[in-house]
C-alpha cells in the first residue's frame, strides 16, 4: 500500500498531470495498492484567495473553505481522467467522500478521524483512489480546509489510517535540502532527516512539508519520502533515527511571515507576563519568541513574536487591556524575519551558536532576538537582511 501526493507544481498543467499519472501507473502495475493525493493546480489556491478578496476583504472563514476546496476537487477529477486514459482503473474522491473528519477551525482544521471504508472498498476492487488533498468535513457537515500546504497532511493522515507501507510526497525539488534550493544554489540534498529535525525545519519556514504532516508522520511512524515529480532520482527519507550525519546542523530556514510586538514601560512586578499572555491566549493567539528586558527604575519591556496574520488582532486585544496590563507604549512591526538553524548534532557539538552569530557578524547583520531549543537556534533580523543571513549562515556551516 503506497500513498503518493502530488503538490501544486506537479499537477500544474496537462503535461504535469500526465507525468504524475505515469508515476502512479508504474507503482500500481508492480501490484501495489495506490492512494493518490493531489493539491490544487499551480497557483489556483492563491488565485481563489485573490478573487474572494476582491468581493469581500473579510469573507467568512466557512465560505472561504468552500471556495478553496474547489481547487483540489478539480485536480482529483483531472488526475483520475489522466489515469483512465492510460488504462488505469481509478476513482476520484473528495474529503467528505473519504470521511476525513476535522474540527471546526475553518482555514486550519485538524483531522480528528478518518473512516476509510470507501477507500478500502475501492482498493479492494483494484482501483487507484485519487483523493482531493487539503480538505475535510466538520461535525456540521461543512467543508473545512487544513491550512496552507495541507495536502501533505492529508497524505500522511491517509497513510497512517490505511497503515501504508510508504508515503511519497512528490514536489518540485528533489527532496529536503540544507536550505531552500531556490534561494541557495549551493544547498545540498539530504539523504535522510529525522522527524524531529524535519518538524523544526517545517515549523521554522521550510515550506517543503506542512509541519502538521511531519508531526503526524512521527506520531504514527509513517515511512515518509520527499522527492521530485520531474526527475526520477532518490529523494529524502524522513524517519525516526538516521545514520550519523557529518554536519553539526541539517538545515537553515527563514520565516518572514511573522511580526514583533513590544510592550514598553511595564511595571517590574509579579504577574505582568501572566496578564499579557493570558489575554493573548484567550484570543487564541500563539506566541513564539519572548524577550524580557532587565528591569530599570521599576519598569521593564516585554517583546514577542506572533504569526503575521495574528499581528493586528494581537495589537487590538492588548490595547483593549492596556489599563489592566499597565504599559506605556506598544510598538508593532512586521518588517522582520526569523532565521533558524536546525540539527540534532548541535546537542553534542559546542560552538554552533557562535558559528551562526559569526556568520551574521561577518555580514554586519544585527540580531533582534535569540531563541534556542535542544535542536534549533533562531534569531530575529530585519526583513531585508533575511536572504543574506540565510546565505551567510549556510556558507559558514556547509561552505
Ligand atoms: P508543493 O506544491 O509540491 O507542495 P511547496 O511549494 O509547498 O510544494 O514546497 C516545495 C518548495 O519548498 C520548494 O520549491 C522550495 O522552494 C521550498 N523549500 C523551502 N525550504 C526548503 C528545503 N529546506 N528543502 C527543499 N525545499 C524547500
Ligand atoms: N492548495 C493548498 C495550498 O496551496 C494546499 C496544498 O497545496 O497543500 O496551500
Ligand atoms: Mg506544499
**What are the pLDDT digits (tens) for 76-127?**
999 999 999 999 999 999 999 999 999 999 999 999 999 989 999 999 999 9
What the block records as the C-alpha cell of 215 is: 508531526
Q: Residue 4 in contact with residue 170, Cβ under 8 Å?
A: yes
Predicted pLDDT at 245: 61
Q: What is the mean pLDDT of the chain?
A: 96
Q: How far is the CA of 336 from the centre of ligand 1 (A)?
A: 21
| Nearest atom, ligand 2, residue 146 CA | 5
Q: How far is the CA of 20 from the centre of ligand 2 (A)?
A: 17
**Atom 5, ligand 2: residue with shortest CA distance:** 149
Predicted pLDDT at 209: 98
Predicted pLDDT at 247: 77
Q: How far is the CA of 209 from the centre of ligand 3 (A)?
A: 6
Share of the chain above pLDDT 90, in %: 93
Taking only the tens place, the pLDDT of each residue in 5-43 is 999 999 999 999 999 999 999 999 999 999 999 999 999
Taking only the tens place, the pLDDT of each residue in 300-349 is 999 999 999 999 999 999 999 999 999 999 999 999 999 999 998 888 88
| Residues near ligand 3 ion, CB 5 Å cutoff | 7, 149
What the block records as the C-alpha cell of 245 is: 550525519
- C-beta 134 within 6 A of ligand 2: yes
Neighbours of 316 (CB within 10 A): 11
Q: How far apart are CA 34 and CA 79, in angstroms?
A: 13
- The DSSP output letter for 387 is H
**Atom 1, ligand 1: residue with shortest CA distance:** 7
Residue that has been written with the C-alpha cell 525545519 in this structure: 201
Q: How far apart are CA 3 and CA 1, in angstroms?
A: 7
- C-beta 148 within 6 A of ligand 2: yes
What the block records as the C-alpha cell of 68 is: 478553496
Write b or e for each residue in 224-246: b if 16 or more Cβ atoms lie within 10 A of its Cβ, otherwise e: bbbbbbbeeeebbbbbeebeebe
**Atom 4, ligand 1: residue with shortest CA distance:** 7
Predicted pLDDT at 246: 65
Pocket of ligand 1 (CB under 6 A): 7-10, 39, 149, 171-173, 176-177, 179-182, 201, 206-208, 251
Listed in sequence order, the residues at least 6 apart from 57 whose beta carbon sits closer than 8 Å to its beta carbon are: none
Nearest ligand, CA 8: 1
Q: How far is the CA of 7 from the centre of ligand 3 (A)?
A: 6
Long-range contacts of residues 240-245, Cβ cutoff 8 Å, at least 24 apart: 240/194, 240/195, 241/194, 242/192, 242/193, 242/194, 243/192, 245/190, 245/343, 245/345
- C-beta 42 within 6 A of ligand 2: no
In the predicted structure, residue 251 carries a pLDDT above the cut 80: yes
| Nearest atom, ligand 2, residue 71 CA | 1
Q: How far is the CA of 208 from the centre of ligand 1 (A)?
A: 3
Predicted pLDDT at 223: 97
Predicted pLDDT at 243: 77
Predicted pLDDT at 121: 97
Element spanning 218, H or E: helix 211-220
Mean pLDDT of the 128-145 span: 98
Residue from 13, 207, 337, 376 to probe ligand 1 pocket by mutation (most atoms less than 8 Å from CB) = 207
Q: How far is the CA of 37 from the centre of ligand 1 (A)?
A: 17
Nearest ligand, CA 133: 2
In the predicted structure, residue 244 carries a pLDDT above the cut 90: no
In the predicted structure, residue 57 carries a pLDDT above the cut 80: yes
In the predicted structure, residue 355 carries a pLDDT above the cut 90: yes
Residue from 149, 152, 170, 202 to probe ligand 2 pocket by mutation (most atoms less than 8 Å from CB) = 149
Taking only the tens place, the pLDDT of each residue in 180-232 is 999 999 999 999 999 999 999 999 999 999 999 999 999 999 999 999 999 99
- C-beta 95 within 6 A of ligand 2: no
Nearest ligand, CA 184: 1
Predicted pLDDT at 225: 98
| Nearest atom, ligand 2, residue 154 CA | 8
What the block records as the C-alpha cell of 54 is: 476582491
Amino acid at each position: 500500500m503506497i500513498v503518493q501526493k502530488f503538490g501544486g507544481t506537479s499537477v500544474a498543467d496537462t503535461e504535469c498531470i500526465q507525468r504524475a499519472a505515469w508515476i502512479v501507473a508504474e507503482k500500481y502495475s508492480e501490484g501495489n495498492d495506490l492512494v493518490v493525493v493531489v493539491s490544487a493546480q499551480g497557483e489556483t489556491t492563491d488565485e481563489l484567495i485573490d478573487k474572494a478578496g476582491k468581493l469581500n476583504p473579510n469573507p467568512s472563514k466557512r465560505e472561504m473553505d468552500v471556495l478553496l476546496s474547489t481547487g483540489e476537487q478539480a485536480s482529483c477529477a483531472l488526475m483520475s481522467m489522466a489515469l483512465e486514459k492510460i488504462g488505469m482503473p481509478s476513482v476520484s474522491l473528495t474529503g467528505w467522500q473519504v470521511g476525513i473528519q476535522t474540527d471546526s477551525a475553518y482555514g486550519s482544521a485538524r483531522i480528528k478521524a478518518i473512516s476509510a471504508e470507501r477507500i478500502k472498498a475501492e482498493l479492494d476492487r483494484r482501483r487507484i483512489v485519487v483523493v482531493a488533498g487539503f480538505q475535510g468535513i466538520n461535525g456540521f457537515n461543512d467543508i473545512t480546509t487544513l491550512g496552507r500546504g495541507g495536502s501533505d497532511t492529508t497524505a500522511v493522515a491517509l497513510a497512517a489510517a490505511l497503515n501504508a507501507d510508504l508515503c511519497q510526497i512528490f514536489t518540485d525539488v528533489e527532496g529536503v535540502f540544507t536550505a531552500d534550493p531556490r534561494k541557495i544554489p549551493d544547498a545540498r540534498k539530504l539523504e535522510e532527516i529525522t522527524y524531529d529535525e524535519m518538524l523544526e525545519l517545517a515549523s521554522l519556514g521550510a515550506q517543503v512539508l506542512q509541519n502538521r504532516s511531519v508531526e503526524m508522520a512521527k506520531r504514527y511512524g509513517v515511512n515518509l519520502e520527499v522527492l521530485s515529480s520531474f526527475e526520477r532520482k532518490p529523494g529524502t527519507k524522513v524517519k525516526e533515527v538516521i545514520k550519523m550525519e557529518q554536519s553539526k546542523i541539517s538545515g537553515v530556514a527563514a520565516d518572514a511571515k511573522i511580526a514583533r510586538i513590544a510592550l514598553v514601560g511595564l511595571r517590574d512586578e509579579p504577574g505582568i507576563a501572566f496578564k499579557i499572555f493570558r489575554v493573548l491566549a484567550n484570543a487564541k493567539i500563539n506566541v513564539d519568541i519572548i524577550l524580557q528586558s532587565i528591569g530599570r527604575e521599576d519598569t521593564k519591556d516585554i517583546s514577542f513574536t506572533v504569526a503575521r496574520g495574528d499581528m493586528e488582532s494581537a495589537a487590538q486585544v492588548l490595547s483593549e487591556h492596556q489599563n489592566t496590563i499597565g504599559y506605556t507604549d506598544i510598538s508593532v512591526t512586521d518588517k522582520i524575519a526569523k532565521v533558524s538553524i536546525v540539527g540534532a548534532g548541535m546537542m553534542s557539538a559546542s560552538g554552533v551558536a557562535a558559528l551562526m552569530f559569526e556568520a551574521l557578524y561577518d555580514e554586519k547583520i544585527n540580531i533582534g532576538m535569540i531563541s534556542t531549543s535542544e535542536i534549533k537556534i533562531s534569531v530575529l533580523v530585519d526583513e531585508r537582511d533575511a536572504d543574506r543571513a540565510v546565505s551567510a549562515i549556510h556558507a559558514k556551516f556547509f561552505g
